[in-house]
Amino acid sequence: MRWSPGNNPDVEDQRGSSGGGGGMRFGGRGLGVGGLLVVLVLSLIFKRDFFSLLSGGGTDPNTPAQGPVQSSAGEEDLKSFVGAVLDSVQTTWDAELPQQTRVPYQHARLVLFRDAIESACGYAEAATGPFYCPGDHKVYVDLGFYQELKDRFGAPGDFAQAYVLAHEIGHHVQVLLGTEAKMRRAVEQRPDEANALSVKMELQADCYAGVWGHTAAAHGILESGDVEEGMNAAAAVGDDRIQKMSTGRVNPESFTHGSAAQRVSWFKRGMNAGRVADCDTFSE
């Protein structure tokens, strides 16, 4: 990818203050919108506030960083890169969302943390992976995840990293369009369909990441091999791939994000079309 370093005001660096607290661990996958739907279902079924269990009674999510940030040159370059990607993704939605849907775009914020963080959606550890919280309109990322994306999931490359962030901003777009609220109501009415609805939400976010990729390509930001890196990343985090890697078996009924083939297909659809209207995963 072609990008220029700089400071993005939408990035909050909390690497010096994150960690501590208790709470529930969601190993291996992001909490995200899909995860929140599952937690909502558990709350409804067991008539217990599982959202409160996510919070370890830790710090205020808006608390600024405490103390100096110890960071390597490589990590600082990565911070600059994700800030540039965030700027590109949100600049795209600044233009495309009102033009295509007549809904104004409102910027999300990106929170960088280490090890653990308290958000409006509860407590999360780095093992949960990047996630978007509808409660505070923020994306949370531990920069160490990108090394895991390369080493554990076999998805190297800067556009693979960019795809992950664009996917999370896709969840923010769902909130602005009212899709996330509709899905919460649908889960309340049909809790047995929570996993299927979560998959549709995640695949739509993949498609929205592709919409940004379409615009990035049109603006000459992408380089040879970037699209392939994005598709490889989408496939690498498919439910079937992760289940096979972690348990040796695949259980489609437990999917919450979609199969590798589904994720690649919807990402490509967004890349090819560049239109929000082509990302209607709920009609298929």
pLDDT, one tens digit per residue, over 204-228 is 999 999 999 999 999 998 888 888 8
CA atoms of 109 and 86, how far apart (whole Å): 9
Within-domain flag for 4: no
Within-domain flag for 147: yes
Which pLDDT does position 37 carry in this prediction?
A: 59
pLDDT band at residue 91 using 50, 70 and 90 as cut-offs: very high
Judge whether residue 232 has pLDDT over 70: yes
CA atoms of 197 and 203, how far apart (whole Å): 10
In terms of average pLDDT, the best of 12-21, 25-34, 199-208 is 199-208
Residues 146-183 have pLDDT tens digits of 888 888 777 777 888 899 999 999 999 999 999 999 99
Within-domain flag for 117: yes
Would you call 48 helix, strand, or coil by DSSP?
coil
CA atoms of 32 and 209, how far apart (whole Å): 15
- Domain count within the chain: 1
Task: Give the domain range for residue 223.
Answer: 11-283
Within-domain flag for 1: no
Could you tell me the pTM of the whole model? 0.81
Measured at the CA of 82, the angle between CA 151 and CA 199, to 5 degrees, comes to: 65
Within-domain flag for 28: yes
Q: How many CA atoms lie within 13 A of 210 on its CB side?
A: 27
Within-domain flag for 114: yes
Which residues, in sequence order, are CB contacts of 72 under 8 Å at separation 6+?
Answer: none
| Residue 178 near residue 256, CB atoms below 8 Å | no
Judge whether residue 234 has pLDDT over 60: yes
pLDDT band at residue 46 using 50, 70 and 90 as cut-offs: very low
Which pLDDT does position 77 carry in this prediction?
A: 86
Within-domain flag for 100: yes
Within-domain flag for 160: yes
